[in-house]
Amino acid sequence: MVNGINIASTLLYSTPMAGGTPEVVIETHIWDNFAGQLAIGFALDSQALYWLREDRDGWGAWRAGRDGSGDVKLAGFPGPSSFYDTTVLGPDRLLAYYAGPHAASSLLSLPKSGGAVTPLPVPGGSTVIGVLSDGTALVQSITTGGNGQKRSDHYQTQRLRPGATEVEPFWLDKPPPAYAVAGWDDPGRGSLLSVWEWGTDDALHTTIWALDRDGRGTRLACDPVVGSRVKVAAVSPDAIFLLVENLSETTSYWQVARIPR
């Protein structure tokens, strides 16, 4: 008990694929302090569980090792105050950003073992679409402001390679009004993007695009349901699996979709 509140460890379990008895692989104390604390953006690798936390000291990155070393604060994030909800793990670094649509975001990088936090050079006001496994960041910014008419907002997609000092153009054959929502690795091929596009029915639809390493795009699929959104995907050698969010004024539901390759 702490300050009159009953607390308990937070446990991460592993379960065999074929079923069986779960076993504890990581024990954390993320929720031991309830005072103005937000924990979000969890990511897992073979060594540890990582997450982002906001508390009275501001935002920071945390780690709990599989070796039982306990919760460790890796670093505090520099001001000004922002919001972060996504953690991406590279071979030796952790990247943090906010993945909300139409939201400007800082992109921060730090060693997975802790150390100095480095703000990466993404253009001011741009949105981080996703970070690939090699550390390449895909970002998006508006090029032409809307006039209230459909298709009047135009966007450009850029990428920031690891170690680069500025972004470079990417996806040059992109339809100008298309708005990228999220991006992921497409192993052996390039990257995948979830995109909002205006359909022939003058309504917004989710489309899925494959981009090769040079940024040439191919539209793979279009959701016939108006107003859906995809921010989570898993890629196998023969298919892409998507978690499709469908929201309206009266309904809210999720579906799993599969795109064969």
pLDDT on residue 150: 83
Which pair of tokens denotes residue 174? 């992109």
182 pLDDT more than 70? yes
pLDDT on residue 22: 87
d(CA 65, CA 50): 9
- Number of Cβ within 10 Å of residue 74's Cβ equals 18
Question: Cβ(129)–Cβ(193) under 8 Å?
Answer: yes
d(CA 101, CA 180): 9
d(CA 48, CA 44): 6
CB proximity list for 3: less than 8 A, separation 6 or greater: none
Residue 67 gets the label, from left (phi > 0), alpha (psi -120 to 50) or beta, of alpha
Question: Cβ(164)–Cβ(145) under 8 Å?
Answer: no
Mean pLDDT over 36-40 rounds to: 75
197 pLDDT more than 90? yes
Mean pLDDT over 189-196 rounds to: 95
Three-state DSSP string of 35-70? CCCEEEEEEECCCEEEEEEEECCEEEEEEEECCCCC
Which pair of tokens denotes residue 216? 């040439």
Mean pLDDT over 176-186 rounds to: 93
pLDDT on residue 136: 92
pLDDT on residue 1: 47
pLDDT on residue 83: 84
What's the distance, Cα to Cα, between the start and end of the chain in Å? Answer: 53
Comparison of pLDDT for 6 and 178, the residue scoring more: 178
Question: Cβ(220)–Cβ(259) under 8 Å?
Answer: yes
Buried b (16+ CB within 10 A) or exposed e, 109-143: bbebeeeebeebebeeebbbbbbbeebbbbbbbee
pLDDT on residue 118: 93
Comparison of pLDDT for 102 and 189, the residue scoring more: 189
d(CA 42, CA 85): 9
Q: Which amino acid is at 55?
A: D
Question: Cβ(220)–Cβ(206) under 8 Å?
Answer: no
214 pLDDT more than 60? yes
SS3 217: strand
Comparison of pLDDT for 66 and 1, the residue scoring more: 66
46 pLDDT more than 60? yes
In this prediction the pTM is 0.83
Question: Cβ(56)–Cβ(36) under 8 Å?
Answer: yes
pLDDT on residue 36: 53
pLDDT on residue 256: 94
Task: Say which DSSP state 78 is in.
Answer: P
142 pLDDT more than 90? no
Mean pLDDT over 160-170 rounds to: 93
- Number of Cβ within 10 Å of residue 38's Cβ equals 13
Mean pLDDT of the chain: 87
Mean pLDDT over 13-25 rounds to: 84
pLDDT on residue 11: 79
